[in-house]
Amino acid sequence: MPKAKHANSTRSHDWSHFLIQKTPGAVITADTQGRITEFNPAAERMTGFSRAEALGRDTGEILHFQGGEANFPLNQVWGGKLEVTEELIMHSRSGQEVPVMISSFALRDERGAIYGGAVIIRDLTLVKRLETERRHLVNMFAHDLKTPVVGTAGLIRRLLQGKLGELSPPQINYLQTVDRELHHLEELITRFLEFARLDLRIMIPQPQDLDVAGECQEVVTLLMPLAEAKDITLSINLPPGIPTLKADPYLFRRVLENLIGNAIKYSPSGSTVWLNAQVEDPAVRFAVKDQGPGISPDDLSHLFESFYRGQGVANIPGFGLGLATVKRIIDAHGGRIWVDTSPGHGSAFYFTIPLETQNTPSK
Ligand code: ADP
């Protein structure tokens, strides 16, 4: 009996060893000091180090990630997290950047004591390439769709203006419906193209000296009629002496238009929407706050995804592209965006534009 058990465990050991050797994912294990104890062939291919070079070396010497030490996956496992899965950019030995999906977890003995950690790395290069190709294709498709839509809308408008003769009331009715639908489609294509160009980095911010107070005031003035139509008060509070930032004025305005536009759109009549800013070195932090319905925890994690619309907004117009676009713009400026909200207690969207890109006067 014990013999059979031994044979089984040997076979399962062979089997798992075989799998680790053949799996396309890099498998790396380390002891609690972070010294490498296993390094499979996929790890050799992905990192550019041979097994013999890697064994016994510190994981930090072999694995390099964008963001440095703070992003080192096993650090979080040593810090107490059971398992961490994340997307990172890995730098191979030759300096090549490889997009990867990393799962790291602690290795425990029968009593649960940690005796090491394991990292499994999947190369996402092909997935990313296909994803980018798909996005380019959709972008081209949307671009080609725009010309006939704009052209057709122009012809319909000419008909409605009576340029080709008088129309009967039912004909006007039909054409007005077609006109509205085309307008909606054109707006969707325009918003999508804006998002897609930022996402694909075809549209790159053109930073200039940004007159923060002037730009904020301009957007508020532009959106005032929208707010007034809902009896919403728009309040703007900017501290004096906000430094001139380096940012793309058009894109900065698009951020404010989207955030303030949403705040007005989702808030009840008679409420207030605030635009605040404050200097919090190393950035200027902007806040758009409202007294609207707030956002549910289920929606929160998807908020910045393209075409995502929250629960219960089906009867409010929108394409679900505003926040996705805003996020791309803020990312492209090196800033951060986040939201503080709870259902029934309004929402506060915060974003930062770093001061380091500020046009500081030469000393
Ligand atoms: P859209 O407004 O066109 O749906 P967005 O990308 O701008 O798309 O917003 C995504 C979703 O986030 C919205 O559908 C809505 O559910 C939620 N949302 C955004 N801003 C607010 C806000 N100020 N208050 C409540 N919900 C909001």
Question: How many angstroms separate the CA atoms of 42 and 27, rounded?
Answer: 7
Supply φ then ψ for residue 46, to 5 degrees: -75, -35
Q: Where are the domains of the chain?
A: 2-123, 128-199, 208-354
Any idea which fold 2-123 has? Beta-Lactamase (3.30.450)
* Closest C-alpha residue for ligand 1 atom 23: 263
pLDDT for 70 equals 55
What is the per-residue pLDDT for 101?
93
DSSP state of 341: E
Gap from CA of 310 to ligand 1 centroid (Å): 6
Instruction: Kindly give the interhelix angle for 125-160 and 169-199, rounded to the nearest 10 degrees.
Output: 150
SS3 29: strand
What is this structure's pTM? 0.78
CA distances (Å), 216 to each of 242, 243, 303, in order? 12, 14, 24
Q: Cβ(290) to ligand 1 under 6 A? A: yes
Q: Report the pLDDT value the prediction gives residue 172, as an integer from 0 to 100.
A: 96
Which ligand 1 atom sits nearest the alpha carbon of residue 263?
A: 23
CATH class of 208-354: alpha beta
Instruction: State which ligand 1 atom lies nearest to the alpha carbon of 267.
Output: 24
CA–CA gap between residue 75 and residue 88 (Å, rounded): 14
- Coil/strand/helix, residue 285: strand
Q: How high is the pLDDT of residue 15? A: 83
Distance 37 CA to ligand 1 centre (A): 49
pLDDT of residue 81: 73
Instruction: Give the Å distance between the CA of 265 and the centre of ligand 1.
Output: 9
Which amino acid, residue 199? Answer: D
pLDDT at 78: 72
Q: What is the mean pLDDT of each run of 10 residues along the chain (363 residues)?
A: 58 81 94 93 95 94 79 70 84 92 90 90 95 93 94 96 94 96 96 95 93 95 97 96 93 98 97 96 95 95 95 94 97 96 94 72 33
Say yes or no: CB of residue 322 within 6 Å of ligand 1. yes
